[in-house]
Structure 1
Amino acid sequence: MDGTGPGDFEVGVVLRVLGSPLLELDGRAQPLPPGRPGRLVAALLVARGRVVTDDRLVDEVWGEDLPADARAALHTNVGRARRALGTAAARLERVAAGYRFDLADVSVDADEFVATLARARGLVAGDPVGALAAYDAALRLWQGPAWAGFADDVAQGEALRLEESLLAAREEHAETLLALGRAQEAADELRPLVSGEPLRDRPALLLIRALHRLGSSADALAVFAAHRAALAEELGLDPSPELEEAQREVLERTPAPTPAVAAPVVVRASALVGREADLEQVRRLLTLHRCVTVLGPGGVGKTSLAREVMASTTPAWWVDLTSVTTEAGVRAQVAAALDVEVFVGGSLEAALEGRLAAASGLLVLDNCEHVLGAAADLVAWATAVGGGIRVLATSRERLGVPVEQVCPLAPLRLPTDDSADPDVPAVALFLDRARAAAPELEVTPDVLGEVNELVRRLDGLPLAIELAASRVGVVPLRTLRDRLDHRLDLLRSHHRRGPARHQTLADTIDWSYDLLDEDQRRALRWLSVFAGPFDLDAAEAVLGPDSAEQVLGLVERSLVVRPARSDDLDYRLLETVRAFARDRLEGAEAEAASLAHARWARDQAALARVGLAGRYAGWWGGQVERLLPELALAVLWAVESGHADEAVEIVPDLYEWGYWRVRADVLGWATMLLESGHPGVATTRVLATATAYWWMADDQVRATALSRQAIEAAGGEDDPSAYLALETAGDVALATGDLDRAYAVYERAAQHALRAERHSDAVQAVAGMLLARTYAEGPTAAELALLREHEGLVVNPSVRAMALYAEAEAVAADEPEQALELFARARAIARETGNRLVVGVSMAAETALRGRVGGLDDTTLSRTIEAVELWLGSGNQNLFITCLRNAVSLLDRLHLFETAVEVVAATTAHTPDRPSYGIEAERMTRAMNRARTVLGTDQVDAVWRRAQGLDLETVARRVVADLAGVRQGGVSAGD
């Protein structure tokens, strides 16, 4: 043990690291000692007064070229360093299992630089001249590369941070010059910056603007071209939008903008962000248990958390097990950390046992997952010998000893979809580390939005976040976000030191992957075909029977995330792990895994089709919503890989769900399938599903053609398998006003369903017959009777809601109050089951009814606004147009004539193949006539011409705004 103690410290000590490191003592500057003593002192200075363990010092000073007796060599070099330090020797102290260099009252030029830079940034918005002077003062502190002579090893991280700050300061200095109108000086400063940092966006952008302002357009464009070429060659990236905009300004000779120099938002910096609760939890558990294992996937921050716990615990010993592979190696590492001395004739085991029995403190075992058995034996031994040792272990898998208490470490909390809070832990960590890489980063709402999405894609894993944040300043945020999905190589550390498995995120995951047996590796690769969470049944469907143990084994190794709650059956892969595993799934194995997934998805869709037709359609609708990413992935893979026969089953099985929930995107999978050209895909059910898609998209010409093909594929209208094709043909005929055709095909569909005693299908078809009769203003008694005869046998809530809606439409003209009650009942049932179509058509029909005969009150206005907003952007263009037309009568009654004309004109322009008909057309004609009477023909014609060029969304928002204005001001217009 080193016995040198601290003496009386001198004052006025200065440490200069912005160049070759110098210690100024008593007014005399001296460099750090040469050779290993100097490396030792540098390592301690970088630690800024913190204790550096013997093992860490040996690693820093010798690297891989370890001496035969590392401990003796370390003590020898400590002595040499003290002799070289002279009067500062007393500051090099022996503390516990390591050394520290006391920096109390020591002035550090790097700190002065950071403080002066902060002052410049604080002045830049209000006093750019003062800011420029402060930038000058900060830059004058630099006498050469930071930590020169040590920047490639012991001081690499600190040197990189300072050099990054220097680059930012030089950029900001040039930008301030540019803002003050000193473009030539700015350009002179920026040229060497751009040359030295060809991948960095900001200096290139500033130089382009400076040259543009000087009139050197050709030079500015050359800078852009060179930067674009460097990005493409080195990173495969395109220039940022800001650079492309600067190029456009040069090309169009737009005056170069004056930079708006504003003070950057200061983001809180912390060594360990967002882990306060976890720290407290581990500390509490250590007071209750002899061994606590922090458990979690690679990159989640187990080591950082353990270091923070150790920093507040005395005495404590750190043991890094990364490089050991045997039980003897584990014991040797622990013995070295505890300063165990083995005397002649003794054994390491006996000496270590004696030390453990006498010691009291915290023993940290970091990275136990690859030596689980040896680590477990060591823990059991250490806690059984009677001493006061408590163990904190980090591992991706539990040790499995009786004294162990597991503390799972989850990824950092992520922002919600609409969060703009920079203090959310995952976001705070990213911003903290990004500002180290790019101090100029401004935390605007747009930046927060990009960061939110980025950290979500990174699962909140601290290592992934830190690696991504380190690329800020080189790669634009949006580009970084968009290229992460299958580019784990983008998450590469710039630091060459540190564990190899932390150099990239892929290395970190690979560390865990290498510890698996081949069956577990296969399981991990195959599970990557899932788009999201999966339960054990789904996993076994893909992996094969009796594979649940493999999944649970991956859970134990923190490669599969366990359910968050005890009642949750779903497991999942972190997105980063999924990308890693997917990259290793290739060739025939990839096809086999994807085919197994597609067949599982096909089976799920078949189950859902049956469930959606029954009493619990609402619950099954939620199941389909949950499984939709898997179903989408399966369909896309099947179409692209030549296994379209799997998608032929999945797509029409989702017809009911897509139809009732107004999901044109899902129904559109049928068009993708048909356009693929694969043989055998044009089945009756696929064609009918594609018909429904074009009906929703309001392309009734295509929908009509497809409906005919669907019926022909079934063998004609008399074939019972034509039911779905007949149903969709009826919908299209209703939309186009061919009411006789609509009635006929609905009637044929009803006949097929009644013969097969499929009551739900029969009632749905009869509801269509009733609507066709109602819209034709014909007698409806027979259809109403048939509907009421069978609807009591229907258990499917969606069909019951549809029947109530159709009945309401039929009685609306003669019994409006009863119709309003039926609309309300239909809407209530539909809402409970997630049936957006019936909710929407009921509201739209109620809008038409209230617009004609309802009171001009808040209820009428609110219901109409609600209906328009529901269909706005719903994906069903056909019923959106119907809803807008239904609002015309109300607009007419409220004397909102211009808006009424806009609605008629725009909906007419957008439906050349589907003109309004029947009662709807009569109402619109009546409203147009009233508008001409009040406004005059010339004004109506002018509004008509203007409105024909408007999109329907703009018109809908005008309707909503006008009705909201009337509601807010009180209804004053009348019939």
Structure 2
Amino acid sequence: MGIRVEVLGPLRLVVDGVPVDVPGPKRRAVLALLALAESRVVTVEHLLNALWPAEIPESGRQALHTHVSRLRGHLGPAADRLQTRHDGYRLDLTTVELDLAQARAALRSAHKDDQDAFEVLRAAHALWRGPVLADLTDVAPIATAVEGCAQLHREVTDALVAAGIAAGRGSEVCGSAADAVAADPLREPGVLLLVRALAADGRAVEALRTAREFRRRLADETGLDPTPALDELERAIAGGTAGPAPARAEAPVRPATRLIGRAEEVVALRRLLDVERLVTVVGPGGVGKTRVALEVAGRSDGATVLLLAPVTDPAAIPHALAAALNLNVARGDVLDACVAVLAHRTGVLVIDNCEHLLDAVRDVVEVVLAGCPGLTVLATSRERLGLAAEYAFRLAPLPVPGADGDPTQVPSVAVFLDRARRARPGAAPAPAQLRTVADIVRRLDGMPLAIELAAGRLSTFTLADLHRRLDRSLDLLGGGRASADARHRTLRATVGWSYDLLPDDEQRLFRHLSVFVDGVDLDTAERIGADLGLRSDPGSVLAHLVDTSMIEVVFAGPTRYRMLETLRAYGLDRLEAAGEAEDAQRRFIRWAVELAGWVGATLRSEHEPDADAVLRRELANLRAAWRAARGRRSFEDAAVIVSALFDTLYRDLVEIRGWAEELAGDPAIATHPRAGAVLGAAAEAAYMRADPPRAEELARAGLERAGDDAATWSCHLALAWVALTRAAHVQVVEHCLAAAALDVRRSEGFAGAALATAYAGDPDGARALNEKARAAAVSPSMRAFVAYVGGEIESRAGDNDRAERHYVTAIELARASGATFYVGVATVGLLTVRASAGRVADALRGYREVIGYFERTGSWTHLWATLRDLAGLLRTLGDDEPAALLLAAAAAAPDAPAAVPPPPLVPGTPVLDRREVLDVARRAVARHLQTTAKDSSRTHAV
């Protein structure tokens, strides 16, 4: 019996071609939640929490059961489609039976088939019938899904317009492009498509006018300029050379080299991922697990790839996942933030190289599977993760040639020949040479990495020489009957053989570079070579290591030299065998100490963006060196790293803040001369994670132990920010001026004093202090802080125009320098002045984004301040009830900053929990955005 559920508009159920009315908001919400799960099980707990977010009544489970039972009645002959499982319910829908799945499938199909893309996308675009589930957006998971549908609608519209232009049907998509721009006038990709569509329709003058209007609108509303793409398009249109929209870029997860001999495995894995939540590709090192997983990811829509090879600290896995998601988590639980982002996604999360972090990966995967019902996980590991939901897919070595048949058709031989052509281009091998190749790959047991390493040596040896050396150098098990562990030893023997062929200098450099978990740049490699006293030029030694495939070079971005993980593990073993492990670790920690010192000094200069880029690029290595220093109980090295990286605390690199607090709790701090600097950094870190009492405790202890001006400066500033949360403005000024009196970084002290002076109601005094700060500011982030303080001063003085200019400047400088904390606080100030200036729609959109950001990063101190500002805007709009709820919750929150003057509270207003508060805020923002959009439409109509 055919059924269809439509969610891209008002909720609609059709059974056997006949529309069926589903009465009651709770029952309609249950149907919507089951449909949005797209044939996955929705747990009873999820449904209960969605229907009754404040408190589940005692009769909640029975009421839910009743709603499900009556939904089966609505389904009639198709009642068996609504299935009861042990932990929830599942509505079985095919792709064509759910308009959302149909739209998503059409978008995928259009990306793969350019010929029919336009018609496919036009049909998909027509699936939207009006506001999506408008009567159900008070249910939080549905509201989140509605945002996802809006994003999908933008993607379908963009793809439709691009396909129409490419098909020569620009006139048919101009209306859709114009509607998309009207809905989001500041989204540049939509504007570019509209301009292209107008030009393709022969309306070049109108196209250029649209581009100019966008440029002016963007400058007026954000203070920003468009990307160079708009300049290029305008020139092309003016010159009559504008072509169709550029093709959609392919997801950058598929490796550049061709995958040979794994087609069946890739197909099998894709089928498994359709029915299993967790699949782990298991097998020995070097068998090709990573390569196969990346191929699956490259053929999947919405794939996220988490590479764990550079990660050595189990606690860093959530941070690595956040980086893979391009998610900046400045505060709060990092894994929770990742799950919040993934919770409503479908697709594949690939987690590669799990074996060295097995317990921690198991815990992370368990949390992801529980919190992300639409996501499947594809892991690679030398052993199973050990979860009940896991399906283990064992990847065997490549088939090797037998006595008969054409060896070129055997995958292991094909891999060898393909890689050999790259090492030594030339004529196809003769039959006798093919027999030699067949023997080589048999002796290498079909292991892809071993085969690639052997083929790479053809840059140095003839095939016959390679074969002879292979016989002498490797202890191989013959006949292809070796166990998995034996094959692993075979691979290590292959690596050992490649290593043994290196000259002494190359072996030494290879060994000592293996301590770097995420590769090195050229300067670092050459410095280590020079420190080792190599007889040859270190650059030449490194180049030959690249030629022999012992090190790979990556040219995307700054040139980087990395080892395959198996090779790096072998290098570490060789360090131990040579008795050099201790020396290599000391050198590695010294490198980290020197790098931290350079980063810290450069962050305080005009070259701050360069230091920020290096810091982020070297974070995995710094993390490993930090752990090495802690493992060796080298408090001195750890203290130097933490104090040098003080300025990173204003960035989204949360784990570095954790280092400071960890070190502050080390008993060795009691007698260490750097105690004051460590405690000052830890105090700043505690403040940034919204724990003012702990920050004050650490800062006061640091002042007692401070051994130099830098330590004293950091402790005074931490105490100033703690006082600021209490609105103790006199104390803020005292601590900031005490910091400014020291010969460290005077700009921050003066700016902090200016901020408190402005809050105390003295704008002239604040301006004078901020001018001193401006004169002393050097780095972009300090200039951003000064600009932010200028915005706060002028905002409180009532000059919104000047305040907005200051805020925009602060955001631009902070974003360019990587100081994400200043981006956040300046954005809140900018929204306040825009709201005061009557630009309500802009402010509402901004609040929607910044609330989401602060929620994801766990920054509730700043989130409470943001919600108070939003409450003020809601009151000006006459929406008193949600405003009262937001203010009451902020007044009761222990981590909310003091408000001066305290906003008026409505007696008897209930204090909502945090989830309820955010629901209230989001619903209010959505409601008023809808109202302003309608008002705007009526104005245009008149």
TM-score of the aligned structures, taking structure 1 as reference length: 0.48
TM-score of the aligned structures, taking structure 2 as reference length: 0.50
Bigger relative contact order (CA 8 A; separation at least 6): 2
Bigger radius of gyration among the two? 1
